[in-house]
Amino acid sequence: MGWMRGLVLAALTLSWLGACYKIPVGEPCDKESDCAMGLRCFEPNGTTTKVCTARCDTSPCEDGTCIDVADGKLCTKDCASAADCGDSTSCQRETTGKTVCWPLDPALTPIKTGVSVAKATYREEANIGAVLRQGRYGTIEVFAVNTGAETAPNVGADVSLVTPELQTTGCYANGDSGNSCISSSCQCTPSSINDVSGTITLDPGETGSVPLIILQGVHLDGVVSSGSASFNVLMVAGSGETWNDVVSLPTGAPATGVVVTPYLGGNRVRRDVPNGIFVAATNLTEARINGLAATITSSEQGVTFDGCCSAWESCGGTSANATCNAPCDCLGTTAAISRLSLDPGEASGQPGYGEPLIYATVRLDAALTQTEVRFDVKIRDDAGHEWTDSFTLEVAP
């Protein structure tokens, strides 16, 4: 009989636990007694769904977010995707930008469900501070997020350009398994290439850690009067589901004069170690320019220069010989430094395939908190013509 007594006790325990469980804020309910202490089972105007909530003007909203809707300021729970809300409520964005679970309300904006573009960033080599402008080339990295309730397997992307002046030489996607898709027509969906190479798999609420697709050789072949350039991204999962999104990026004035491009191993600077920055120059004028040299400065706290040199001859082919004035002044030096000469449209090259306008060795303090640092470059030729440019580098975590 002991085993029967155990079964009875277990059943009583489960019954007691069920009776004691109270529904937390933002969850659907049937009646007032379902909700945790301090909450009421409330049916928002125009809906048939009841939710456990409290009025923010009379009760603290410690476990959620206050939303300003037609029924007043009410407390509900946060969400990262539709999976957090279930079938009775929707994941929506409120006025401060937070996303919350609540029955559909005109004061809230439903977030996209399924896969969409989380962000798209334009960069010119290591320069993440660049904007699209005529005369310059760069890449666009497109990252995706899954705001749906189900895993999105083997997602790839096709890109189609909307702005006529926006051009690209092709796209590629490495995927989260390292199997690449390379496409001159920017088509990397499973249905486009009949393969899952270059795809990523996204769980509910997950943002991809690698780009969904990367546009190469991105440039403008004319002035964009609207101030932004756009392209469509069609996302297709291996399961056949499809989603569309549009990306718009700001454009700047055409590049002129002499401009710079930074090259850096891994494209990010690191704290408390020497970082060698190869700064190349491009002549965007219509005449040959002789005797180019430069000075690099940074107003960021915690950034110091170990030394600089001008072109490879002054560097001895390496970064070992810092012949320019401290901290990084190759314009004011009296040393016999090597200087660049560039024909119209010519670039000085990149590491291994040319020489820099200036090579800087930079250190960041270990305590530096910024996620990116800006550098300003002043350039002068032997005729006294001057140009200025800048670049921004990402700081590794």
Q: What is the DSSP string of 114-141?
A: SEEEEEEEEEBTTBTT--B-TT--EEEE
Look at residues 247, 196, 244, 190 and name the one whose alpha carbon lies nearest to residue 218. Answer: 247
Left (φ > 0), alpha (ψ -120 to 50) or beta: where does 186 sit? left
Cα(298)–Cα(123) distance, rounded to whole angstroms? Answer: 19
Q: 202: which residues sit within 8 A by CB, 6+ positions away? A: 115, 144, 145, 146, 151, 152, 155, 208
Confidence (pLDDT) at 354: 84
Query: So what's the pLDDT on residue 17?
Result: 41
In the chain, alpha helices (H)? 2-20, 190-193, 311-315
Q: Which residues of 369-396 are buried (b: 16+ CB within 10 A; e: fewer)?
A: eeeebbbebbbbbeeeeebebbbbbbbe
pLDDT of residue 10: 44
Contact 380, 292 (CB under 8 A): yes
pLDDT score, position 20 = 65
Output DSSP code: residue 8: H
User: Which of helix, strand or coil describes residue 10?
Assistant: helix
Phi, psi at 19, each rounded to 5°: -70, -30
As a whole number of Å, the end-to-end CA separation of the chain is 63
pLDDT at residue 4 in the model: 53
- Identify the structural domains of the chain with CATH numbers, from first to last: 25-108 (no CATH), 115-250 (2.60.40.10), 258-395 (2.60.40.10)
Identify which of 215, 241, 97 has the alpha carbon closest to the alpha carbon of residue 162.
Answer: 215
Q: Which DSSP letter does residue 210 get?
A: S
Instruction: Give the three-class secondary structure for 6.
Output: helix
- Name the 3-class secondary structure at 288: coil
Residues 6+ away with beta carbon under 8 Å from 389: 258, 259, 260, 376, 377, 379
Residue pair 59/38 in contact (Cβ under 8 Å)? The answer is yes
Q: Which of 80, 75, 84 is nearest to 52 (CA)?
A: 75
Q: Which two tokens stand for residue 74?
A: 């009410």
Do β-strands 358-364 and 275-283 pair in parallel, antiparallel, or remain unpaired?
antiparallel
- Residue 24 near residue 76 (C-beta atoms within 8 A): no
Q: Return the structure tokens found at 351.
A: 């590491």
Triad 26, 31, 36: Cα angle to 5°: 50
Q: Which amino acid is at 319?
A: S
Residue type, 300: E
Amino acid 335: pLDDT: 75
Q: Is 191 helix (H, G, I), strand (E, B) or coil?
A: helix
Beta bridge partners of 280: 261
The answer to pTM > 0.85 is: no
The token pair at 261 is 């491009």
Looking at residue 157, its pLDDT comes to 96
Ranges of the chain with pLDDT below 70: 1-20, 313-323
**Residue range 143-159, pLDDT digits in tens:** 999 988 889 999 999 99
What is the predicted pLDDT for the residue at 13?
A: 41
Cα distances (angstroms) measured from residue 334 to each of 194, 285, 294, 325, 338: 62, 28, 13, 8, 12
